[in-house]
């Protein structure tokens, strides 16, 4: 499996914020992503580069970091671009670890996850997945109707709007204002910060 990096930290976004996790960041992203220019992880986008690592080795590293029944976050890049993705999930599950998958939602996730985070980079009609524990939209000015489409056609326990960081500035106020507006219209969106950035941890 092509890996950009691994590290042990806390989850900084969404409903699982604060959970200790071992992060496995896949190398490469094939998504035609509208925010590619300002992607948080520019070094993980190219398919060249990264390190070849065996799924079983990654699972052992995760177990050593978080212990039995700890959490692994499989992220990217787009981790579903990796042909070994299912094998990695199976290796982690075999060791009793919980799996958080972070994906754009453009590929089906066939391997059994414990918590799936879909951060869509396309309209809901183009997604291959229509259920996850959380949907996390990076807010770049999507209209109320676009966000209503996600809310009504994608089944999630939690709907988050997250600010987009561009040129060192996050559009936090605009994001909060949009969350309030959506709430007034009867849609229970919530705000998601990227707390790890404010705390200065990875």
| Region from 3-11, 32-40, 139-147, 190-198 binding ligand SF4, contact rule CB under 6 A | 32-40
Query: Closest Cα to residue 191, out of 141, 140, 154, 136?
Result: 136
Query: Closest Cα to residue 153, out of 142, 162, 145?
Result: 145
Tell me phi and psi for residue 125, to 5 degrees.
-65, -20
The Cα–Cα gap between 2 and 170 comes to 30
Work out how close the CB of 4 gets to ligand SF4 at its nearest, in angstroms, rounded to a whole number. Answer: 10
Sites for ligand SF4 among residues 58-77 (CB under 6 A): 76-77
Query: Closest Cα to residue 97, out of 151, 128, 55?
Result: 55
Taking CB under 6 A as the criterion, the residue among 58, 71, 73, 78 binding ligand SF4 is: 78
Site membership for ligand SF4, residue 36 (CB under 6 A): yes
Compare residues 38 and 90 and give the one whose CB is closer to ligand SF4. Answer: 38
Compare residues 45 and 63 and give the one whose CB is closer to ligand SF4. Answer: 45
Site pattern 116..155 for ligand SF4 (x: CB under 6 A): -----x----------------------------------
Site membership for ligand SF4, residue 29 (CB under 6 A): yes
The Cα–Cα gap between 5 and 145 comes to 37
The Cα–Cα gap between 40 and 38 comes to 6
In this structure, are residues 159 and 151 in contact, taking their beta carbons and an 8 Å threshold? yes
Query: Closest Cα to residue 6, out of 90, 81, 92?
Result: 92
| Region from 5-13, 26-34, 154-162, 171-179 binding ligand SF4, contact rule CB under 6 A | 26-34
Compare residues 32 and 153 and give the one whose CB is closer to ligand SF4. Answer: 32
Contact residues toward ligand SF4 (CB under 6 A) are 29, 31, 33, 35-36, 39, 41, 45, 76-78, 104, 121
């Amino acid at each position: 499996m092509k890996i950009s990096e691994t590290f042990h930290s806390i989850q900084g976004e969404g409903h699982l914020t604060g959970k200790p996790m071992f992060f496995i960041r896949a190398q490469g992203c094939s998504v035609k992503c509208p925010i590619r220019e300002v992607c948080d992880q520019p070094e993980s986008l190219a398919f060249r580069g990264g390190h070849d690592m065996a799924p079983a080795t990654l699972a052992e590293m995760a177990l050593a970091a978080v212990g039995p029944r700890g959490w692994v976050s499989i992220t990217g890049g787009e981790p579903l671009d990796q042909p070994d993705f299912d094998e990695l999930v199976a290796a982690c599950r075999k060791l009793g670890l919980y799996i958080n998958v972070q994906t754009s939602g453009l590929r089906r996730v066939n391997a059994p996850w414990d918590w799936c985070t879909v951060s869509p980079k396309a309209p809901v009609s183009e997604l291959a997945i229509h259920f996850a524990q959380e949907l996390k939209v990076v807010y770049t000015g999507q209209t109320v109707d676009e966000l209503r489409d996600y809310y009504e056609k994608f089944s999630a326990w939690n709907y988050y709007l997250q600010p987009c960081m561009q040129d060192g500035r996050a559009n936090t106020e605009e994001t909060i204002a949009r969350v309030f507006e959506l709430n007034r219209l009867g849609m229970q969106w919530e705000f998601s910060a990227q707390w790890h950035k404010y705390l200065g941890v990875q």
